[in-house]
Structure 1
Amino acid sequence: MTSNKPYMIRALYDWLVDNGETPYLLVNADSPQVMVPQGFVDEGRIVLNLSPSAVVGLELGNEWISFSARFNGSPEDVHVPPAAVLGIYGKESNQGMLFPGDMEIAAEHPDDEPDPPDPGSRPALRVVK
């Protein structure tokens, strides 16, 4: 059976756009076959703005998520396998989904308490049930 992750990504993307949210994709940039601008990777992750006004040629396929976008004014092609997606959420409300089992960083130190987020850092993610 194929993975349900690409279907969930598409469904959440549509839901976010339909509700006026800016869809953000959290990606493990260290995952094999991920092609993203490395200058924007932070601690092995990158957050990509997938809003219709920010990307060109967005394809949310079963094998690849691909599009073109500008990063600091320079056009770049982005290619991400759905397996590398850690979550998708709305910029404005933080509503969305993290994908369980994909948070390698959390799994590395299961006994450690996570550090609280820094004020002013990226939005916190919440799992929507």
Structure 2
Amino acid sequence: MTSRRPYLIRALYDWVLDNDLTPHLLVAADAPGVDVPRQFVTDDGKITINVSPGAVRGLALDNQLISFSARFSGASYNVAVPPGAVLALYARENGEGMLFGEVEETETASEETFAGRERKSEATESDGDGGDDTPTRKKHPHLKVVK
């Protein structure tokens, strides 16, 4: 069964923006697959990130990974966060949003193996091989907020 967390994150993100508020993510920085600037991680292993359209570039709220580019103390950084590592999404102005709780493990070892084969399959597809029988994941549409 797929996790509901990435769907809730997208819905809450849209809700916060629709109410002219500033969306922030609270992330467990020590969770597997999280790539954030370590100097901004708190002593308890968390980082809060402003993900408003004016603060980030190229925001992708996908089912497997949330990714974007943001500036931290003037330096650009590419951020990658699995949705399972998001502990909360809330509006800075009033704190309204949703607390997700503990880190959610989204992939098992067998799923990671399948994902590795899938990346290999994508590489051979670009070579024009076409004879690969490896199943590929369905592409989901990407939603972007345009103002």
Output the amino acid matched with 1:67: F
Output the amino acid matched with 1:60: L
Q: Which residue is equivalent to 1:77?
A: 78
Tell me, what secondary structure is at the counterpart of 1:34?
coil
Q: Which residue is equivalent to 2:141?
A: none
Tell me, what secondary structure is at the counterpart of 1:11?
helix
How does the TM-score come out when normalised to structure 1? 0.78
How big is the shift at 1:81? 0.2
Q: Which residue is equivalent to 2:14?
A: 14
String of CA shifts for 1:95-114, please: whole Å, max 9, x gaps: 000014x17xxxxxxxxxxx
Segments of 4+ moved more than 3 angstroms: none
2-structure distance, mates of 1:83, 1:11? 15
How big is the shift at 1:66? 0.3
Output the amino acid matched with 1:25: L
Which structure is higher in helix share? 2
Tell me, what secondary structure is at the counterpart of 2:2?
coil
String of CA shifts for 1:45-76, please: whole Å, max 9, x gaps: 00010000000000000000000000000000
Work out the percentage of aligned pairs sharing the same amino acid.
58
Q: Which has the larger radius of gyration?
A: 2
1-structure distance, mates of 2:20, 2:48? 19
The number of equivalent residue pairs is: 103
Q: How does 1:39-58 map to 2 (within 5 A)?
A: 39-42=39-42, 43-58=44-59
Point out where structure 2 has 5 or more consecutive residues left out of the alignment: 104-147
1-structure distance, mates of 2:3, 2:40? 28
2-structure distance, mates of 1:52, 1:3? 25
Give the CA RMSD over aligned residues. Answer: 1.3
